[in-house]
Structure 1
Amino acid sequence: MNSPNKIYDLSFKRMIRLSGKMLVKFVNKVFGKRFPLDSEITFLDTNTVNKDLKVYEKDLYFIICGERFHLEAQAYYDDMLIRLFNYAVSDEEGYKRIDDSHAVFKMPQQAVVFLKDTDKSKDKLYIKLILPDEQEIEYSVHAVRSLGYTPQELIANDMEILLPFQILRLYGSVKKYSSFSEEQKNEFLEKFAQMCKDIAETLHKLKKDKNVTTDEYYAMVEIIHDLEEYIYGMVDNDIKAKGADSMINDEFLFWSERMKAEKDAETAKLLKEKDDQTARILKEKEDEKNRYFAEKMIMNGESAEKIEEYTGLHLSVLKSMAQSLGKALML
């Protein structure tokens, strides 16, 4: 993706790594698998550089139950299919030499998520490979059209990992906002409020049903909030004035306060631990000094009562010290 749209890429990568359970459910749905939801996921954080020094980022390659997968997110149309093919054939992990004249190359299972597309019937991308001997092979990858589903349908189809990207639903309309009449602007803001309500209520249900943890819930809120600010920033004043994003914004502010409180509590804990450690060191030094003077006083034949008064050490401690020094304690 181009750098101006990096937020989509980064948000998608964050969601993919947020919850192993959500990722396995998504893989099972898209690729027709039946992996246990607690399956271990190994991410393959390796990049490939081709002869033209072009880097293929493979941070969305991962292994589940011995099978390799590759996901990509797409915000705008470009040469995604050929790029996916290039990614796949540059993956040396799929190459296995059989003998001096035979080799096998197994491509990873791939899918692309179109974040702004609504036609979910187009669930595959195809490219025809014509080999030198006129053999033809049709290569295909799975395609998921994110906005082809409502928030509720994403949950029903085990694709809740795409829920934050529902905030993109009005991305096309916002570009025309400045030319809207007052009536059209109000209509847009009403749709925006309903969109936020649908997302927030679906997210609440995920949390209530314990399909996401509290930390995962607030991470998704943060991603939604960041995407909202990026996409709808030009109309942010109107959105705030009308309270159109109140359900999302309230959750984000609550999350911010919660994170601040947790940070303050952690800081207080560290300061207390530091104070406790300092107090412990000072006490150890004080005890060491008192024992030193007690030994001197015992050796000089001072009375136990006087030593207790000056050092604060208990009589039982003084008796033990006197015994170790081979001296009789004067009572």
Structure 2
Amino acid sequence: MNTKDEQRVKLDEILKSLFAVSKKVLITMMNSLFKENFDVKMAEITFENNEFVSDDYDIIRGDLFLKISKGNKPYHYHIELQTKNDSTMVIRMFEYGFKKAKELAKNYGNVGETVIYIPKQLVIFVEQNRNIKDELKMKLIFPDGQEIKYTVPTMKYWEYSDIDIMQDKMYPLLPLQVFKLRYKMEQVKNKHGEGSFELKETIMEAKKISEVISKEGSQLFNSGEIDGDDLHRILLAVANLFEYLNTKYGEDVKLNEEVRSMTKTLYDPAVEQRGIEKGIEKGREEGMEKGIEKLILKQYSKGLSIEYIAEINDLDVEYVKAVVKNNIQ
């Protein structure tokens, strides 16, 4: 595998890692992307198989297939993250969707009619491209003249700022703000050449955006919107995406170290602080419980009945009985 292929594999891994976040964050993002309203507490979400055998017996892999269960009803979704567009994209989406539909196919009714459901699909295009429309379109024409229009909505990520992503609660997509600059870097390199002052300036712009996104991720963690693992994934993606761009266009190893150090500085204290806060909260709860137990025992020693203690303190009778039993031999 040559260096270019290695970079491509690493980039794909970085992009796909953005979806390996907590259930709460993932469902919230899916609600926004697909205009759904799943209740985070009630719905369950699972990753589905994303590997299929092609007609040439090769393994083809989609980016993300998810199932969100609402009660006993499953809903299936398919997302592809693309850096560039080509005329075959809509065909690939149809192939992915149809193979997943075959995998999920069931036989309904007495007539033996096979019903297959194509997952809800979305293509997220990261880089600016004026040829990308709001939908990918394809028309299927059968020998009998029957026509079926197949469409897949697209998300033009380059049109979204970090503020937009935050407002729409698509937090796992925040690190892509760094990657958006690849388009600009390519334009600057073609115009001014490698090692140019203008290209170095663009690298520094990417470094600044990396810092902004990292701080926003830390703020989301502190406000309870994401958990520690989510923050870690966001910061790791930011550092890796910056390193990918810097290696490709800048090659300043020192900048890679500075960005990684910055993300670590944000992550460690944030997680430590949350641990302290949880410890304090737990201590308060334990302290409150001990205070209640002390009150129960004091009232019981004064001759009050267990039933009366439960009534005046708005406590469960069985709880009062357990406290008395455990503390009075």
TM-score class normalised by the smaller sequence: 0.5 to 0.7
Residues 201 and 97 of structure 1: is their aligned pair in 2 closer, same or farther, counting only changes over 3 Å? same
Whether the 8 Å CA contact 1:110–1:142 is kept in 2: the answer is: yes
Whether 2:13 is the aligned partner of 1:10: answer: yes
Counterpart amino acid of 1:184?
E
| Aligned pair partner of 1:225 in 216, 239, 257 | 239
Match for residue 214 of structure 1 among 195, 205, 228 = 228
Spell out, residue by residue over 1:49-71, the C-alpha distance to the aligned partner (whole angstroms, 9 max, x if none).
Answer: 13420323256212102101111
Report what 1:69 is aligned to: 77
Quote the Cα distance in structure 2 between the aligned partners of 1:148 and 1:33: 21
Conserved 8 A contact 2:246-2:256: no
**Which has the larger displacement, 179-188 or 195-204?**
179-188
Which amino acid in the other structure matches residue 192 of structure 1?
A: A
| Aligned equivalents of 1:154, 1:188: Cα separation in 2 | 22
Spell out the pairing of 1:198-213 with structure 2 (5 A cutoff).
198-213=212-227
Is the CA contact (8 Å cut-off) linking 2:83 and 2:127 kept in structure 1? yes
Give the Cα separation in 2 of the matches to 1:48 and 1:180.
Answer: 40
Matched, 1:95 2:93: no
Q: In structure 2, what is the equivalent of residue 131 of structure 1?
A: 142
1:251 aligns with 2:262: yes
**Match in the other structure for 1:30:** 33
Alpha-carbon distance in structure 1 between the residues aligned to 2:24 and 2:266:
23
Alignment correspondent of 1:289 = none
Q: Could you tell me how far 1:142 is from its partner in structure 2?
A: 2.3
SS in 2 for 1:206: helix
Secondary structure at the counterpart of residue 21 of structure 1: helix
User: Under a length normalisation based on structure 1, what TM-score does the superposition of the two structures give?
Assistant: 0.66
Residue by residue over 1:191-232, the C-alpha shift from the partner in whole angstroms, topping out at 9 and shown as x without a partner, is 334422432232232122221112221221111111211122
1:114 is the counterpart of 2:121 = no
- Work out whether residues 123 and 152 of structure 2, in 8 Å CA contact, stay in contact via their aligned partners in 1: yes
Distance 1:156 1:143 in 2: 19
TM-aligned CA distance change 1:89 to 1:23, over 3 Å: same
Give % identity. Answer: 24
SS in 2 for 1:17: coil
Aligned-partner SS, 2:225: coil
Cα RMSD (Å) = 3.2
Q: 5 Å matches for 1:1-331?
A: 4-38=7-41, 39-45=43-49, 47-57=51-61, 60-65=64-69, 66-78=74-86, 79-91=88-100, 92-98=102-108, 99=110, 102-117=113-128, 122-175=133-186, 176-177=188-189, 179=193, 184-185=198-199, 187-236=201-250, 238=252, 240=254, 246=258, 248-254=259-265
CA contact (8 A) 1:152 1:202 kept: no
Give the TM-score normalised by structure 2: 0.67
The CA distance in 2 between the partners of 1:59 and 1:174, in whole Å, is 26
Q: Distance in 1 between matches of 2:267 and 2:226?
A: 19
Q: 5+ unaligned residues in a row in structure 2: which ranges?
A: 273-329
Whether the aligned pair in 2 keeps the contact of 1:130 and 1:136 (CA below 8 Å) is yes
Name structure 1 gaps, 5 residues minimum: 262-331
The higher relative CO (CA closer than 8 Å, separation ≥ 6) is in 2
CA offset at residue 173 of structure 1? 3.5
